[in-house]
Structure 1
Amino acid sequence: MAESSVRVVVVDDHSIFRSGLKADLDPSIEVVGEASDVASAVAAVTEAAPDVVLLDVHLPGDVPEGSTGGAEVIRRSAPAVPGTRFLALSVSDRAEDVVGVIRAGARGYITKGSSGADVSRAVRAVADGDAVFSPKLAGFVLDAFGAPAGETAAAPDELDRLSAREQEVMRLIARGYAYKEVASELFISTKTVESHVSAVLRKLQLSSRHELTAWASARRLL
């Protein structure tokens, strides 16, 4: 059965990158708009009301000191398109850039070194309500939004609900690993990873990867 189409707007100030990204995205991802700066991005997003905005962090335009173009696009356009989710796609892996755009409202942050397949999976995950981060960036988010230092660790009975393998999968997924990356790390199939994730969410009474990350962070399991 064919996957349903996900409508996206691509925002980046380099036309060559936008063209290459469009060519690499999965055919089921429909690009319904493009923009190259803050003002044109706000206009394109509010006009198209896409499912997901693929958004560079550093964009030209009128940006207050201490902010970034990507963060400003989210702040200015999100109220008009409540059903739209924002996914940052940037060459930058600086903590301040990651945290700044997430604070503005982005649901994920991946680097431009990601493959077209990885970006496509991230787009679909964000469209489905999950939070997605390149593995090495997840720590920045957990440090910024995690529990206070005095937060207690997970109660034994909480972890006892999960098998040893489910605990391994849970930690990797909560750190932002994609299913394929978890499968490679643990030498299991992607289908097995999906089964374990479903079991973990069910046993912990959680509904998404985003909730799982918050749950694991609050219990200092990462």
Structure 2
Amino acid sequence: MTGGAAVEGAPVRVYLVDDHALFRSGVRAELAAAPDEVEVVGEAGSVGEAVAGIAHLRPEVVLLDVHMPDGGGAEVLRRVRAQDTAVVFLALSVSDAAEDVIAVIRGGARGYVTKTISGRELAGAIRRVSAGDAVFSPRLAGFVLDAFSDRPGSAPVGDPELDLLTPRERDVLRLLARGYAYKEIAGELFISVKTVETHVSSVLRKTQLSNRYELSRWASDRRLV
């Protein structure tokens, strides 16, 4: 499978991947204001649907959400790039956490912007990654520079312990380390308190730590807070 080739002067063909249909509709509406720059050719709300849709429609750029229930953006990247190294990925996420940015860049994304971006800025970012540039929201660029630099104190490119945690476990851990109660975490992430407890238990088991105070210190050491 090979990615669709860009035609000079033509709109960039874009595929949206996000598990929230309302958000996808909003992105479509925003990008429709720049029809000469970008054209949304398809969308998906799950990993499997995204992989199939990208293979069928062969877009030039995929706008990729980082956190989805069935594996997230990293899984889409892994499966698509195993077949097609030409398609370009631009992460578009509500998360501005360093480990999320680094994970998708390691996976092969060409850029990472947050969902506070305007429609006009997003269209420009799509055009730029399609042309070969790397694009990041301003404060996120530093995470990437730190991760791939050799200076003392830089974040490691890979952390085997951190890699054991799922994206949702990292979300729960980050809020826990910030001092949120279980009920507050549940409200922030739109999950039940029981689910929060399950995630915390899983994180404790994977990290071999005993309590939330040790977890908070562990998370702080890895710049999750």
Q: How does 1:3-18 map to 2 (within 5 A)?
A: 3-18=9-24
Alignment partner of 1:27 out of 13, 32, 35: 35
Q: 2:124 maps to what in 1?
A: 121
Question: What is the CA-CA distance between 1:79 and the residue it aligns to?
Answer: 2.8
3-state DSSP of counterpart to 2:66: coil
28-37 or 92-101: which moved more? Answer: 28-37
Structure 2: tracts of 5 or more residues without a match: 1-7, 153-225
CA distance in 2, matches of 1:145, 1:72: 22
Post-superposition offset of 1:16:
0.9
Identity %, equivalent residues: 58
Partner of 2:82: helix, strand, or coil?
Answer: helix
Q: CA shift at 1:101, angstroms?
A: 0.6
Moved over 3 A (4+): none
Q: Scaled by the length of structure 2, what TM-score is found?
A: 0.61
Equivalent pairs counted in the alignment come to 143
Structure 1: stretches of 5+ with no match in the other structure: 64-68, 150-222
Q: 1:147/1:4 Cα in 2 relative to 1: closer, same or farther (>3 Å)?
A: farther
1:1-222 to 2 correspondences below 5 Å:
3-25=9-31, 26-28=34-36, 29-61=38-70, 63=71, 69-149=72-152
AA paired with 2:23?
F
Secondary structure of the residue aligned to 1:92 is coil
Alpha-carbon deviation of 1:148? 4.4
RMSD between superposed Cα atoms in Å = 1.6
1:60 Cα deviation after fit: 1.8
Q: Residue 216 of structure 2 corresponds to which residue in structure 1?
A: none
Q: Are 1:49 and 1:81, in contact at CA under 8 Å, matched by a contact in 2? A: no
